[in-house]
């Protein structure tokens, strides 16, 4: 009996061992094998591919850039579009200070800005001549317009010129809001009062001391006339009770330049950042943005891109050439005068160009013969219409048989100096000074 009981217990024990053992048998053929956990499988497409990644641009050594600009570029919304693109592309962070052109130029003169965007060409040329600017480039233009109350109490709609429109405002003693801030707009306004031989009367003349957007607001509230750039007016017009009442006079052309502050004057300015911003403003990509800006909202662009154009042509003027200094006779020639002289073609290679090309113009020796430089003349200086100067030793000039003043594109006059370094060449020459 004990043997039987022992045998039964042994069978039960062995059966338990078998039941607890791991299953090693394959699953039935009809079952799908279980998928491994997702974390265990490599996902090739999620791995970074270093070879296709664009290399990161090194961060600027000095990323902070101070831009002093006229208020119109801010109040028109243009810089709201351009600055984020520039910052993303370059890594610079722009501190924009929107003031009148006069104040912007003053900031440049004092080394308190790195780069300027302004619209008072005559003042800009003086700025460059005094050595405060390193490089100045034509960027864009729009135009000025006279705006005022819809009922036009001074009747300027019928004016034959901008000067007559200003005269009518003064005669009617109609309120006029002036920026009075030495801005480019203010300079244009003062120029027109002067041409009209009028000194505005404080009884009707309101000096706001504000930027363009604020001055427009004040003019709207006071039922006053004011001079404004078209871009700022169009951008702000939904907030204003003002109409464009006079436009189209050639004198209303409003030209913008970008200028880098001269690090030779102010070593602490961010010269690299300023150059990067200037290059950005005149790049084909940025010029294309400017060309289209405002079209979708206003049905017309607010600015016209101008890099590469001749400023004299924008002004409707042909370049004139003066020759003076240490000469027997000072000479003043119109473009047509130069064009009527004997033309010579020379094949020359600019030091910064890959290939030579033909240049056609008047030999420099023939132009100098008209003025008769002094026997002790030691230096010749070309002066461009933007204030740029190029100096050449008189001995080198006299030894150069192929040097000429080219009649270039857009009726420009350009100094072509074969065999000399690039700084001897000059575009848009308006004066030759002998010393």
Task: Count Cβ atoms below 10 Å from residue 28 Cβ, excluding itself.
Answer: 6
Beta carbons of 386 and 255 less than 8 angstroms apart: no
Neighbours of 347 (CB within 10 A): 10
Task: Give the pLDDT score at 312.
Answer: 73
Tell me the two tokens of residue 305. Answer: 């891109």
The span from the CA of 154 to the CA of 228, in Å, is 17
Question: Residues 95, 99, 101, 107: what is their CA dihedral angle, to the nearest 10 degrees?
Answer: -60
Contact 185, 256 (CB under 8 A): no
- CA–CA separation, 218 and 211 (whole Å): 11
Residue 187's contacts (CB-CB under 8 Å, 6 or more residues apart) are 101, 102, 120, 122, 123
Q: How far apart are CA 301 and CA 106, in angstroms?
A: 30
**φ/ψ bin of 251: left (φ > 0), alpha (ψ from -120 to 50), beta (otherwise):** alpha
Under a CB-based contact definition with an 8 Å cutoff, are residues 94 and 73 in contact?
no
pLDDT of amino acid 43: 43
pLDDT of residue 385: 77
pLDDT in the model for residue 386: 66
pLDDT tens track for 295-353: 998 888 999 999 988 777 777 766 789 999 999 999 999 888 999 999 999 999 999 88
Buried b (16+ CB within 10 A) or exposed e, 280-316: bbbeeebbebbeebbeeeeeebbbbbbbebbbbebee
Sequential DSSP letters for 160-173: SSHHHHHHHHHHHT
In the chain the domains, ranked by start, together with CATH numbers, are 64-139+254-313 (3.40.190.10), 143-253 (3.40.190.10), 317-434 (3.90.420.10)
Q: Quick check: pTM over 0.85?
A: no
Kindly calculate the radius of gyration of the chain based on its CA atoms and give it in whole angstroms: 36
Taking the C-alpha atoms of residue 294 and residue 58, their distance in angstroms, rounded to an integer, is: 34
* Rounded CA separation 265/130 (Å): 10
In whole angstroms, what is the distance from residue 334 CA to residue 227 CA?
33
The pLDDT value given to residue 15: 43
For 259, residues 6+ apart whose C-beta sits below 8 A from its C-beta are 108, 115, 116, 117, 118, 124, 127, 128, 133, 134, 135, 136, 137, 278
Which residues in the chain land under pLDDT 50?
Answer: 1-52, 54
Q: What is the pLDDT of residue 313?
A: 72
Find out whether 122 and 253 touch, Cβ atoms under 8 Å. Answer: no
For residue 147, give the 3-state DSSP assignment.
strand
Closest alpha carbon to 383 in 420, 337, 435, 426: 426
Please, are residues 270 and 134 in contact by the beta-carbon 8 Å criterion? no
Q: What is the DSSP letter of 414?
A: E
417-431 pLDDT tens trace? 999 999 899 988 999
Alpha helices (H) in 259-307, listed in sequence order:
271-282, 284-292, 295-298
């Amino acid at each position: 009996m004990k043997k039987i009981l022992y045998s039964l217990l042994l069978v039960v024990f062995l059966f338990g061992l078998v039941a607890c053992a791991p299953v090693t048998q394959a699953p039935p053929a009809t079952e799908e094998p279980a998928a491994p956990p997702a974390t265990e499988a490599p996902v090739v497409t999620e791995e970074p591919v270093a070879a296709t990644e664009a290399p990161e641009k090194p961060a600027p050594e000095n990323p902070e850039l101070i831009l002093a600009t006229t208020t119109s570029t801010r109040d028109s919304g243009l810089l709201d579009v351009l600055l984020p693109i520039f910052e993303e592309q370059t890594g610079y962070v722009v501190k924009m200070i929107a003031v009148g052109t006069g104040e912007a130029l003053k900031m440049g003169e004092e080394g308190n800005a790195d780069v300027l965007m302004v619209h008072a060409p005559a003042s800009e040329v003086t700025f460059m001549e005094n050595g405060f600017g390193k490089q100045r480039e034509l960027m864009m233009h729009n135009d000025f317009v006279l705006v005022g109350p819809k009922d036009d109490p001074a009747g300027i709609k019928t004016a034959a010129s901008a000067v007559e429109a200003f005269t009518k405002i003064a005669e009617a003693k109609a309120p006029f809001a002036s920026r009075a801030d030495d801005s480019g707009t203010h300079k244009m306004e003062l120029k027109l009062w002067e041409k009209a031989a009028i000194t505005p009367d404080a009884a009707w003349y309101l000096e706001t001391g504000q930027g363009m957007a604020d001055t427009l607001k004040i003019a709207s509230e006071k039922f006053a006339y004011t001079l404004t750039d078209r871009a700022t007016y169009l951008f702000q017009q939904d907030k204003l009770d003002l109409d464009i009442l006079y436009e189209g006079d050639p004198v209303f052309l409003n030209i913008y330049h970008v200028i880098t502050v001269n690090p030779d004057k102010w070593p602490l300015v961010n010269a690299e950042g300023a150059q990067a911003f200037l290059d950005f403003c005149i790049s084909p990509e940025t010029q294309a943005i400017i060309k289209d800006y405002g079209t979708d909202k206003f049905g017309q662009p607010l600015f016209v891109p101008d890099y590469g154009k001749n400023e004299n042509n924008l002004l409707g003027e042909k370049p004139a050439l003066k020759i003076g200094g240490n000469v027997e006779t000072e000479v003043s020639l119109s473009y047509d005068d130069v064009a009527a002289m004997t033309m010579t073609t020379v094949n020359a290679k600019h030091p910064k160009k890959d290939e030579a090309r033909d240049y056609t113009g008047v030999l420099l020796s023939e132009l100098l013969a008209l003025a008769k430089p002094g026997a002790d003349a030691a230096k010749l200086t070309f002066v461009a219409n933007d204030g740029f100067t190029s100096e050449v030793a008189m001995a080198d000039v006299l030894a150069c048989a192929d040097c000429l003043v080219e009649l270039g594109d857009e009726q420009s006059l350009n100094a072509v100096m074969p065999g000399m370094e690039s700084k001897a060449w000059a575009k848009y020459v308006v004066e030759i000074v002998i010393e």
